[in-house]
C-alpha cells in the first residue's frame, strides 16, 4: 500500500508566521494538499526530473515536488516567505530557492535545466509564464499549472471560438492538453473571486519560431479585423497576404480567429514574414 504523503499544513504555516497573502502579487495559497499531489501526478514528475516552480509561497507544492523529483528550482518574489519556506524544506530533497521575478530571469541559465514546470500561478502572469517557458526551456516536456478557469479555457480554446486568441495559437502549436481539472474557490486562502483550473500540457513540438510568434501577435493585435487588414496594419503587403490565403485554400476575408494554429506557420512561410 502506498504511504500517505506528508502534509505541510498551509493554514497552520500562515498563522504561525503571521503572513497575510499579498493580493497585489496574486497570492492565493492552496489549502487542499490532495490537489498538490494531483499536480505532481499530472506533470508525471519522476526521480530524474528537474522541476521549475514559479511562486512556491509557503512551499506546500514545493515539498511534494521535492519528494518526487531530482531537483526543484523554486522562484519566489516575496521575501516574507523565507522563514516558512526554510521550515517546509528542511531535510527535503534538492530545492534551490531563487529570489526574484521569473519574467526578468535568465531561465536558460538554470542548471540543471528544467524538464517540468509545475506551479500555482498568479492569474496575471500565468499566460506569459507558460508562453515564455515553452519558448525558452526546450527540455521541458510537461506542464501542470493552476490558474484562473477563464485563462485555462483561453489556452485550450478551439479556433472559431470567442476565447481563441494569440496565446491559444502559440501554446497549441507546441503542446497538447492531457488533463484539466476544475478547482473551486474554497480550496484557496484567501478565496479568489473566480474558479480555477489545473491544466496539464505535454510538449508535442518545438516552440513556434520568433517569426511565427510575431505574426500571431500582429494578427490578433486588433480584434474583428480581417487577417489581411490586421497584417497590413502591421506592415505586410495586403495583396501578398491575400494571395497567400488563396494559395492556402482560405477565404481572403478570413479573420484571425478562424485559422487553426497549424495555418500560422504556413502563412508566415508563404508571405516571408520576419520578426
pLDDT at 259 over 80: yes
Fold of 210-271: Helicase, Ruva Protein; domain 3 (1.10.8)
Q: Once rounded to an integer, what is the mean pLDDT over residues 97-113?
A: 95
pLDDT value at residue 2? 38
Cα dihedral: 72, 73, 78, 81 (round 10):
30
Against a cut of 0.85, is the pTM above it?
Answer: yes
Domain 10-203, CATH class in plain words = alpha beta
Q: Give me the percent of the chain exceeding a pLDDT of 70.
A: 90
First and final C-alpha spacing in the chain: 55
pLDDT tens-digit series, residues 43-71: 999 999 999 999 998 888 999 999 999 99
Angle at 178 between CA 260 and CA 164, to 5 degrees: 30
Domain definitions of the chain by residue range: 10-203, 210-271
CA distances from 30 to 74, 147, 152, 172 (A): 16, 11, 17, 27
Amino acid at each position: 500500500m502506498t504511504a500517505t504523503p506528508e502534509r505541510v499544513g498551509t493554514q497552520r504555516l500562515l498563522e504561525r508566521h503571521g503572513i497575510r497573502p499579498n493580493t497585489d502579487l496574486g497570492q492565493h495559497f492552496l489549502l487542499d494538499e490532495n490537489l498538490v499531489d494531483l499536480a505532481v501526478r499530472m506533470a508525471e514528475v519522476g526521480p530524474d526530473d528537474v522541476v521549475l516552480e514559479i511562486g512556491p509561497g509557503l512551499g506546500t507544492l514545493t515539498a511534494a515536488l521535492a519528494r518526487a523529483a531530482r531537483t526543484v528550482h523554486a522562484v519566489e518574489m516575496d521575501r516574507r516567505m523565507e522563514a516558512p519556506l526554510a521550515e517546509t524544506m528542511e531535510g527535503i530533497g534538492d530545492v534551490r530557492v531563487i529570489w526574484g521575478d521569473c519574467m526578468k530571469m535568465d531561465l536558460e541559465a538554470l542548471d540543471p535545466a528544467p524538464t517540468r514546470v509545475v506551479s500555482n500561478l498568479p492569474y496575471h502572469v500565468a499566460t506569459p509564464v507558460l508562453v515564455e517557458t515553452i519558448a525558452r526551456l526546450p527540455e521541458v516536456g510537461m506542464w501542470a499549472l493552476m490558474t484562473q478557469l477563464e485563462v485555462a479555457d483561453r489556452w485550450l480554446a478551439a479556433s472559431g471560438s470567442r476565447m481563441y486568441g494569440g496565446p491559444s495559437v502559440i501554446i497549441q502549436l507546441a503542446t497538447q492538453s492531457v488533463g484539466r481539472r476544475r478547482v473551486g474557490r474554497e480550496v484557496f486562502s484567501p478565496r479568489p473571486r473566480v474558479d480555477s483550473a489545473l491544466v496539464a500540457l505535454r510538449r508535442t513540438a518545438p516552440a513556434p519560431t520568433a517569426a511565427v510568434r510575431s505574426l500571431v501577435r500582429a494578427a490578433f493585435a486588433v480584434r474583428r479585423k480581417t487577417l489581411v487588414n490586421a497584417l497590413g496594419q502591421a506592415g505586410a503587403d495586403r495583396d501578398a497576404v491575400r494571395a497567400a490565403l488563396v494559395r492556402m485554400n482560405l477565404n481572403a476575408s478570413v479573420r484571425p480567429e478562424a485559422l487553426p494554429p497549424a495555418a500560422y506557420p504556413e502563412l508566415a512561410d508563404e508571405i516571408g514574414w520576419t520578426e
